[in-house]
Amino acid sequence: MNLEGRKIIVNKSSKELSELLKSPENYKDFMPDGLQKFETRDNGFKFGLQGMPEIALKIDEVTDQKAVLKSASSSLDFSLTATLNPVNENQTEVQMLFEGNFNPFIKMMVEKPLQNFINTLTDKIEAYK
């Protein structure tokens, strides 16, 4: 299952964004309003949203071109990638891409909430100062 967020322009360089995305505690700023729990870990974070199970993510790779988060649970196989494409030295085009391997039943249950989550992340990153 693949999902995409809309492409946005962020008024930060790709280097500034990649530095921001290396730090687990910074992801709290991008979480949806229904956030009920957020815990940082050495290389990632765990969060809980109202009406959804808790999700643990690890920061797998961060470069000036992308930030890749992967599921920290062996029972869920997915990744969330933010592509970072410099527009100029002070602006970066960002797009969130979700890739997951789910059975058809799970896919049916999670597709809409995941797309909403990606849309919210995109909105929060776009509004980030």
Domain ranges across the chain: 2-127
pLDDT in tens, 67-107: 999 999 888 899 999 999 999 999 999 999 999 999 999 89
| Radius of gyration of the CA atoms of the chain, in A | 14
CA dihedral of 96, 102, 106, 110, whole degrees rounded to 10: 0
Task: Compute the average pLDDT of residues 45-64.
Answer: 92
pLDDT in tens, 100-112: 999 999 899 889 9
Mean pLDDT within 30-53: 90
| pLDDT for the residue 27 | 95
Cα 43 from Cα 100, distance rounded (Å): 20
| pTM score of the predicted model | 0.92
Residue 32, judged by CB atoms within 10 A of its CB (0-12, 13-18, 19+), counts as middle
Q: Which CATH superfamily is domain 2-127 in?
A: START domain (3.30.530.20)
